Amino acid sequence: MSKSSVFSRPRLVVKKLLARAQNEGDGAVVRRSIGRPELQNLDPFLMLDEFSVSPPAGFPDHPHRGFETVTYMLQGAFTHQDFAGHKGTIRTGDVQWMTAGRGIVHSEMPVGPGTHKGLQLWINLSSKDKLVEPRYQELLHENIPKAEKDGVSVTILAGESMGVKSQIFTRTPTMYLDFTLKPGSEHHQPIPEPWNAFVYIVEGEGAFGSPDSTTPAHHCLVLGPGEGLSVWNKSSKPLRFVLIGGQPINEPVVQYGPFVMNTKTEIMQAYQDYQLGRNGFERARQWSSK
Ligand code: FJE
Ligand code: FE
């Protein structure tokens, strides 16, 4: 018998949701969990998409303002190009942490044949950070900290696990952990008490919060309050999932597609700035990706 939990107040699953495939961008397919009508946002998170894209599909030229996008490749490669001349390719295991701040216009397209897969997370910025200068943090797979113990391996994109810390700077305090559990293994991960947190299952199946009920891939599990998450892999196959947590911002969220601000007036301003090429969108009018 597996012990029930090492936490006196374990975080239990309060909401379970299947991320069904839907079309997005230009011919791309995404499984959206956070950001779908039943789960509009989980402060500070606005969206989590598991994307699956084969050329010529992709996410052609589009703007962002007021939040961060975190793109984590699971398979294949994606090239981004933006209106300020930034260009880069991320491959399996690499991560791009983009602070859109006051404004980015970019394209995100797969490179090479086959199916390209990954996760894109949108993290809100607090009102004081919404109009910061855009910034990129890009990490190659080999430079992302990892830890392993007793059949549990973890890649630490943000935050800390098993005594290992990420160097990514998160304007909104965030943890982003990618776990793989071998059959028969278990893990108990502390999560800061006031934070919201959720799990997205990438592969296999696991028991989350309590050992008696299991959940398969492509499900999102919202965690309730408590000290941390206990997880068990009681199946005969590896279990891979991401655990994402963040400090709530507790401010009003007004979203219009790729613009996320605090008020309707600010949204109208963002839309106008984009249309007219002002306040951070100066390069938007004459630019297009190659
Ligand atoms: C977007 C429609 C979109 N999920 N996952 C509307 F498709 C997008 C968008 C993405 C996206 C991009 C990648 Cl690389 C991965 C994604 C949606 O680009 F921003 C809006 N507003
Ligand atoms: Fe984008």
3-class secondary-structure state, position 197:
strand
Ligand 1 pocket, mutate which of 23, 72, 120 (most atoms under 8 A from CB): 120
Contacts of 87 (CB under 8 A, 6+ apart): 79, 80, 81
Tens of pLDDT along the chain (290 residues) come to 445 669 999 999 999 999 999 999 999 999 999 999 999 989 999 999 999 999 999 999 999 999 999 999 999 999 999 999 999 999 999 999 999 999 999 999 999 999 999 999 999 999 999 999 999 999 999 999 999 999 999 999 999 999 999 999 999 999 999 999 999 999 999 999 999 999 999 999 999 999 999 999 999 999 999 999 999 999 999 999 999 999 999 999 999 999 999 999 999 999 999 999 999 999 998 899 99
Instruction: Give the closest residue (by CA) to ligand 1 atom 3.
Output: 25
Q: What is the pLDDT of residues 239-258, one digit of tens each?
A: 999 999 999 999 999 999 99
Ligand nearest the Cα of residue 19 is: 1
**DSSP state letters, 209-272:** SSTT-EEETTEEEEE-SSSEEEEE--SSS-EEEEEEEE----S--EEETTEEESSHHHHHHHHH
Ligand 1 pocket, mutate which of 45, 59, 91, 95 (most atoms under 8 A from CB): 59
Residue 98 Cα to ligand 2 midpoint, Å, equals 9
67 CB less than 6 Å from ligand 1?
no
Atom of ligand 1 nearest to the CA of 47: 4
72 CB less than 6 Å from ligand 1?
no
The DSSP secondary-structure symbol of 12 reads P
Contact 108, 70 (CB under 8 A): no
Contact 120, 94 (CB under 8 A): no
CA 135 to chain CA centroid, Å, is 17
Q: Is the pTM of this model over 0.95?
A: yes
62 CB less than 6 Å from ligand 1?
yes
Tokens 């100066």 belong to 282
**DSSP state letters, 125-147:** --GGGTTSPPEEEEE-GGGS-EE
Our CA angle for 200, 201, 205, nearest 5°, is 150
Ligand 1 pocket, mutate which of 22, 23, 24 (most atoms under 8 A from CB): 24
Q: Distance between CA atoms of 244 and 229, rounded to whole angstroms?
A: 11
The helix or strand, by DSSP H or E, that contains position 274, with its residue range, turns out to be helix 264-276
CA neighbours closer than 13 Å in the CB half-sphere of residue 277: 7
Instruction: Give the closest residue (by CA) to ligand 1 atom 14.
Output: 108
Q: Distance between CA atoms of 168 and 180, rounded to whole angstroms?
A: 21
